[in-house]
Structures are given as structure tokens and as C-alpha cells.
């Protein structure tokens, strides 16, 4: 199985591998980076994507369980011993528990799956019966429910693009006299966006100020709209003047000029 993500989406590939309970490695090549997802009977057991190589040191550092400096030193040790031996050492020394390692690896795998499912372009090829490196720690991740959730999110993103086709529109607060913002359960990003809602700020300007992607800002605005807190402000379209209205406007300007000249003559 091989092709391009332009013709066969990441979600479709994941669904096929999961339903067919395939075993092997899915490799993806693209200009922005590459990925390698390894499956065992349809379950994801290992993932490397972009600069996240899936090594134990990298996974633990990204999850905040060890520092970047510690990860660099542990990565060198893992080159000699492998991740399995490194994991045992960390558990014995009391740095992390077995549960910590499993949780971090699953979190990394879930992030890799979501990232891969969002890719729109790239050459992919599935190599059957190609296992991961024997020294890697593999944690099976069932994809069935994850794929369903990804499909829902993608559908919602498509709806938001239709609801908010342009990011050059502005926002305004909806008057709700009986509601206090302090009583609302809002996310950190939603609070950040609310602080930037001003007449002079378009959605695009808010996104740029907060370092958000188009998808991220649409999701936040969509949530705020669903909560009834904000609404889009469409620019008023000026209707063209009729010939009679243009004639009246010229006459008014002429009278104003004559009046000002008369004042100056006095």
C-alpha cells in the first residue's frame, strides 16, 4: 500500500490499518518532515514524527518528566544500552515509574497520530511485517475510538471554515446582563482571545498577536460563539449611489464651498 496523502487521507489510512489488523510500518515522506508509525495487529506500538523520534529520552523530556539536559545525556546512554535498559535504570533510580513511562509513551503516540491525520500531502508506503527497533519500548494503542474522535474534530474544523470563511472580520461581545464572565468555565486560550476583542482588532490580527494558527483561532472563536459570548461583525457594504443621489451630493458640496468662500470674503 502506497500513494500520496492528497488522494488518501491519513484518517482513512489509519482506519484501514486498524480494521484490517495489519502489522508493519507506515512511512511518510514530506518536505516539512517525515514519520514512521509502527503497527502490531492494527494497534499503534511505536511512533516517530518530525523531530520527535519516539526515543524514551525524547518522550520523557517532551512530557516534562526530565529536563532537556537530562534527555541529551540519557540519549547518549541509550545509544549503547537501548531504551529498554534505560527505562529499567530510570525506574531503579527512582526518576520515573513504569506507569510514568507508559503514560508518556501513549501521550506521545496520541500526539503523533493526531499530527499525522492533519497532513494533507506527502508520499506514504506501508511495509508489512516490518517491526520497530528491538531496543524500543512499545506500548500498544488501540486506534478505533481515536480515529472516531479525529474524524469528529476534522468535520467540526470543516464546518468552522464555512462559518468563518474569512479571518479579516471583527468580533464584538454579545450583551448578556445576567452573565458574569468570572462565572464561566473557559479555557486558557479562550480567555486570551477575549482580552484581544476590540473594535480595531480583526480575527486575523488576534491570531497573529497570540501566535495561533488559522485552525486554532477558528476553534476558539467557534467555542465562544457557541457559548453566546461573541458574534461576528460583518463590514457594512456600501450601496452605489444613483445618478440623482450623485447629482444632489455634488450640489450640496457646491453650496458648501460657496458658503465657505462667502465667509472668507467677509
Q: What is the pLDDT of residues 210-246, one digit of tens each?
A: 999 999 999 999 999 998 889 998 755 555 667 777 7
| Residue range 64-88: mean pLDDT, rounded | 91
- CATH 1.10.10.10 segments of the chain: 164-266
**What CATH architecture does domain 164-266 belong to?**
Orthogonal Bundle (1.10)
Give the model's confidence band at 51: pLDDT under 50 very low, under 70 low, under 90 confident, else very high.
confident
Please state which of the ranges 4-8, 35-39, 84-88, 177-181 shows the lowest mean pLDDT: 177-181
d(CA 54, CA 99): 17
pLDDT at 144: 93
Tell whether the model's pLDDT for residue 253 goes beyond 80.
no
Q: Which of 71, 48, 65 is nearest to 137 (CA)?
A: 48
| Residue range 139-160: mean pLDDT, rounded | 94
| Residue range 89-110: mean pLDDT, rounded | 94
| CA-CA-CA-CA dihedral for 133, 136, 130, 62, to nearest 10 | -110
Tell whether the model's pLDDT for residue 135 goes beyond 90.
no
Question: Is residue 179 classed as helix, strand or coil in its secondary structure?
Answer: coil
Q: Which of 227, 35, 54 is nearest to 133 (CA)?
A: 54
d(CA 152, CA 71): 35
Give the model's confidence band at 1: pLDDT under 50 very low, under 70 low, under 90 confident, else very high.
confident
> Which one-letter DSSP state was computed for residue 193?
H
Phi-psi region of 201 (alpha: psi -120 to 50; beta: other; left: phi over 0): beta
d(CA 143, CA 45): 11
pLDDT at 256: 55
Beta strands in the chain (DSSP E): 2-4, 24-30, 33-40, 43-49, 123-128, 170-173, 230-233
Cβ(169)–Cβ(135) under 8 Å? no
The DSSP string of 93-141 is: HTSS-HHHHHHHHHHHHHHHHHHHHT----EEEEEET-PPPTTS----B
> Phi and psi for 61 in degrees, rounded to 5?
-70, -40
Give the model's confidence band at 33: pLDDT under 50 very low, under 70 low, under 90 confident, else very high.
confident
Cβ(164)–Cβ(222) under 8 Å? yes
Tell whether the model's pLDDT for residue 59 goes beyond 80.
yes
Cβ partners under 8 Å of residue 7, min gap 6: none
Amino acid at each position: 500500500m502506497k500513494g500520496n496523502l492528497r488522494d488518501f487521507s491519513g484518517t482513512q489510512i489509519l482506519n484501514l490499518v486498524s480494521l484490517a489488523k495489519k502489522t508493519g510500518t507506515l512511512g511518510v515522506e514530506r518536505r516539512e518532515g517525515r514519520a514512521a508509525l509502527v503497527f502490531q495487529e492494527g494497534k499503534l506500538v511505536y511512533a516517530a514524527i518530525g523531530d520527535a523520534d519516539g526515543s524514551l529520552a525524547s518522550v520523557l523530556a517532551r512530557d516534562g518528566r526530565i529536563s532537556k539536559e537530562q534527555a541529551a545525556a540519557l540519549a547518549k546512554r541509550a545509544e549503547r544500552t537501548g531504551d529498554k535498559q534505560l527505562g529499567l535504570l530510570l525506574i531503579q533510580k527512582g526518576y520515573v515509574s513504569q506507569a510514568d513511562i507508559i503514560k508518556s509513551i501513549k501521550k506521545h503516540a496520541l500526539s503523533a497520530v493526531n499530527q499525522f491525520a492533519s497532513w494533507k500531502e506527502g508520499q506514504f508506503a506501508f511495509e508489512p511485517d516490518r517491526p520497530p527497533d528491538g531496543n524500543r519500548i512499545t506500548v500498544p494503542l488501540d486506534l478505533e475510538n481515536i480515529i472516531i474522535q479525529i474524524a469528529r474534530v476534522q468535520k467540526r474544523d470543516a464546518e468552522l471554515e464555512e462559518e468563518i470563511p474569512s479571518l479579516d472580520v471583527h468580533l464584538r461581545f454579545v450583551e448578556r446582563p445576567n452573565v458574569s464572565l468570572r462565572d464561566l468555565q473557559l479555557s486558557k486560550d479562550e480567555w486570551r482571545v477575549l482580552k484581544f476583542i476590540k473594535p480595531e482588532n480583526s480575527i486575523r490580527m488576534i491570531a497573529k498577536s497570540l501566535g495561533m494558527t488559522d485552525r486554532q483561532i477558528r476553534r476558539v472563536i467557534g467555542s465562544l460563539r457557541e457559548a453566546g459570548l461573541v458574534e461576528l461583525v460583518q463590514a457594512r457594504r456600501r450601496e452605489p449611489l444613483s445618478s440623482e443621489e450623485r447629482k444632489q451630493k455634488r450640489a450640496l458640496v457646491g453650496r458648501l464651498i460657496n458658503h465657505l468662500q462667502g465667509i472668507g470674503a467677509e
